[in-house]
Amino acid sequence: MRPDLTVLCDQHQRPMKLSVVFIENTPSGQNWNEVYVCGDCGRQYHPQFGYFQLEGFRIKEAGQSRHDCPRHAGQALYLRSRTGQGQDWVCLEEGCAGGTGAINAPVALP
């Protein structure tokens, strides 16, 4: 994970903070994961799961606003910015142009 990124909460559009949390039953079997966490609602982002909430130590509501990178299979895009013209979703991989942001037109999500 990259601490130099500004990852916005997909619900509040406020910057999230990089943190380490315990998550049970992850597909990788890794329980301690670096995630970005919203200080307002506790919502979290991880490139493998997208945006999600934790209930206890289990992922709840994963993938509801998930958009996968077309160049990095299985990696969820994150919300970098939001303007009146739409939302800027980008890949966590440095230099990847697979998002919907600066290189492509922004998309408005439901």
Any idea where the domains of the chain sit in the sequence?
Answer: 1-105
Which segments of the chain have a pLDDT < 50? Answer: 102-110
User: Can you give the pLDDT at residue 5?
Assistant: 86
CB under 8 Å to 101, separation ≥6 — which residues? Answer: 80, 81, 88, 89, 90
pTM of the model: 0.79
Which candidate, 82, 109, 94, 101, places its Cα nearest to that of 8?
82
User: Can you give the pLDDT at residue 100?
Assistant: 63
User: Can you give the pLDDT at residue 51?
Assistant: 93
User: Can you give the pLDDT at residue 40?
Assistant: 92
User: First vs last Cα of the chain: how many Å apart?
Assistant: 27
